[in-house]
A and B are shown apart, each in its own frame.
Chain A
């Protein structure tokens, strides 16, 4: 385990003794100091954990570096369908931590962290657009990349790569009509 992130995870476990964080590296590497560590949190406790990670001096994650949605539909040994991964970065302590939240159909909902990091605004909109994971208390949860009237969530694994005929539905402009 990377020396820098160990105290943070220990601190988390001490602070929230009722949560099973299940800390694990994202990928096991030969050089253990380069491993990237990840903790799991339930959607109900997310806000408490995130506010702690942001405000505590020993954690001080000032920046939400990335927010990725993953659809674990056919993933081997996966129990939950959607995962939302928060990549946190602390500039003052120079460490990173990944926080994962798992949610399921029929109503995938995660609390929004926009009140903590403004940078989450568009990233959460993107995850909503692409995966259909709804962020509660988001100030402006609209589709961001796809167009008005689009129903599906394209990055879900059950959506085909070439779409469901959306790209053929236009009026045709001919020489005569122009």
Chain B
């Protein structure tokens, strides 16, 4: 199918260094990339206009996984919706659970217990590792390195085991509740986490890094590909590892601290966990890979700081507040617990938040995952807008890819780590 360039002036602006497009005039080829393609990581569709093998312009079509998450939120209460957030960024479901209830608790004005904060911080970091492992592995897979996909996936399986240990599900965890957690951790869980973070994961990261960063094909296919400058990254609203690999010093864990990233998190002057925020200046696919690898190492540090001394005490806020759901023992064992439980779960009862709007954001693996809640005082959110990092990061793809070869599409896509369910919601 032949077609002509729609807006040649625009396509001339972007491109890697040394790219000087010829005068338009020749015929361009249109290539439909997706929506079913192994490298599109589920369902994305690009319509590329090709001049030989060089991409002159790209139009992205999304929405192939639009499932009406935000509409659904208006028909579910604050605890029920956590089930749907699992399916949002399905590579790191725990991080979504925490981000959703972070915003809810901001709305209700709940301060969590220290034990809950520590557990949430640990699982947030585990989720970050989980996400980055898949991202770097899939980048390798797309560039033809199948082994580089197997190594991190092995390490991911252990995280699935850790999730299974605390909440019974490998994958769709739904672990948090308003004001606490679904249940307390098991006694052997901290030991398992520590073993994983001191032994298995560092080895896997070492292997992975050796496998890819000493591979000339990988380096040549990622270095200088899909470059974005710092100013552009800010203007496009990019957050997370993508922004940090372009030199933007921004991490919500440091800038708007929450959980154990904030000082005085236990109310007795405890210090915030210490970690560094890795920054790169390249802004290309290789820089993104390196930032992700470095972030995983920092996450290991955070987990090791916390996992040995998880404070004792309840995981839920005090039951007298009637905010958190009672434990199952209480529900089955006492009439007060049963009444309390029904008060919370019945459709015409439940939590009644104040009337107002609130924005709560967490730093998840892909960037700033925020929820903008509008409450009319009912037990269901009036509007639950999600600020999905993938959606906002992915916009710049149309600019990033111009001037590159067609084989670079998969490299750039892999490094952006677009999760379709979060993209389309």
Contacts and interface: CB of A to CB of B under 8 A. Distances in A.
| A touches B in complex, CB < 8 A | yes
Interface of A: 25-30, 36, 38, 62-66, 68-71, 74-76, 85, 87, 91, 94, 96, 98, 117-123, 126, 130, 143-147, 154-155, 159, 161
A28 B356 contact: yes
Given A76-B355, A87-B370, A144-B62, 12 more contacts: A27-B354, A68-B372, A70-B382, A87-B359, A91-B234, A91-B250, A118-B395, A120-B237, A121-B395, A122-B392, A144-B63, A161-B75
Nearest to B231: A62
A28 B385 contact: no
Contacts of A30: 109
B107 interface: yes
17 contacts: A29-B109, A30-B109, A36-B358, A65-B368, A66-B372, A66-B387, A68-B385, A70-B382, A75-B374, A75-B382, A87-B387, A91-B234, A91-B250, A119-B237, A122-B391, A123-B391, A145-B424
Nearest to A143: B63
B357 A27 contact: yes
Contacts of B232: 118
Nearest to B378: A76
B70 interface: yes
A27 to B, nearest CB: 3
Interface in B365-417: 368, 370, 372, 374, 376-377, 382-383, 385, 387, 391-392, 394-396
Nearest to A78: B376
A119 B395 contact: yes
Nearest to A29: B109
Contact of B63 (A26, A69, A94, A145): A145
Interface of B: 62-63, 66, 68, 70-72, 74-75, 106-107, 109, 232, 234-238, 248-250, 255, 354-359, 368, 370, 372, 374, 376-377, 382-383, 385, 387, 391-392, 394-396, 424-425
Contacts of B370: 65-66, 87
Nearest to B353: A27
Nearest to A94: B255
Contacts of A75: 374, 376, 382
A100 to B, nearest CB: 9
Nearest to A127: B385
A154 B71 contact: yes
B237 A64 contact: yes
Contacts of B107: 27
B234 A161 contact: no
Contact of B237 (A70, A117, A147, A155): A117
Contacts of B424: 145
Given A66-B385, A145-B63, A161-B75, A118 B236 contact: yes
B71 A146 contact: no
Nearest to A122: B395
Given A30-B109, A70-B374, A161-B72, A63 B234 contact: yes
A119 B368 CA distance: 14
A85 B354 CA distance: 19
A40 B237 CA distance: 22
A86 B218 CA distance: 40
Contacts of B357: 26-27, 38, 85
Nearest to A26: B357
A118 B392 CA distance: 10
Nearest to A54: B235
Given A65-B387, A122-B395, A123-B392, A161 B71 contact: yes
Contact of B234 (A62, A143, A145, A159): A62
Contacts of A94: 255
A38 B62 CA distance: 31
B366 to A, nearest CB: 15
Contacts of B109: 29-30
B39 to A, nearest CB: 21
B71 A27 contact: no
B248 A91 contact: yes
A65 B376 contact: no
Contacts of A29: 109
